[in-house]
Amino acid sequence: MSDEQAVGDDRPVGIDELLERVRLDLDRLSPEEAYQTAEAGGLLVDIRYAALRERDGLIPGALVVERNELEWRLDPQGSHRAPEATGHDLPVVVICNEGYASSLAAVSLRQLGLRHATDLTGGFQAWRAAGLPVVTTES
């Protein structure tokens, strides 16, 4: 192997390639599959920022966790864990706005040992487009 080939293994990648790579290990869910997972006791985790939640609404029963707190709140062994983070076998479906940031977040949770963490293909927007339940903050 030449030095050039060895260095090539450490080359920087763009976000599109990184997403493609990390998604190889995820069994990403459709909106309907995510809904079924929640119905069967899995945890939906909404990582969208507040302005999007206020604008578009919330998925009933989803745990809202800001992205920068996700690992601390979902680590079953962590001192700052959410009560819903009951164990490493819990099916967790991470939901962002369109299904990009959630893939990276799900992989991060898998690195914490949450072996059933995945994300929702198309994010919240796909959930809403599928006609699944959404609660709005408007009266």
Place of tokens 């864990």: 81
Domain at 29-130: CATH code: 3.40.250.10
Q: What is the sign of the dihedral through the CA atoms of 39, 45, 48 and 53?
A: positive
Question: What is this structure's pTM?
Answer: 0.88
pLDDT by residue (tens digit) across 44-82? 999 999 999 999 999 999 999 999 999 999 999 999 999
Phi/psi for 120 (5° steps) reads -95, 120
In this prediction, residue 4 has a pLDDT band, given cuts at 50, 70 and 90, of very low
Please say if the pLDDT value at position 138 is more than 80: no
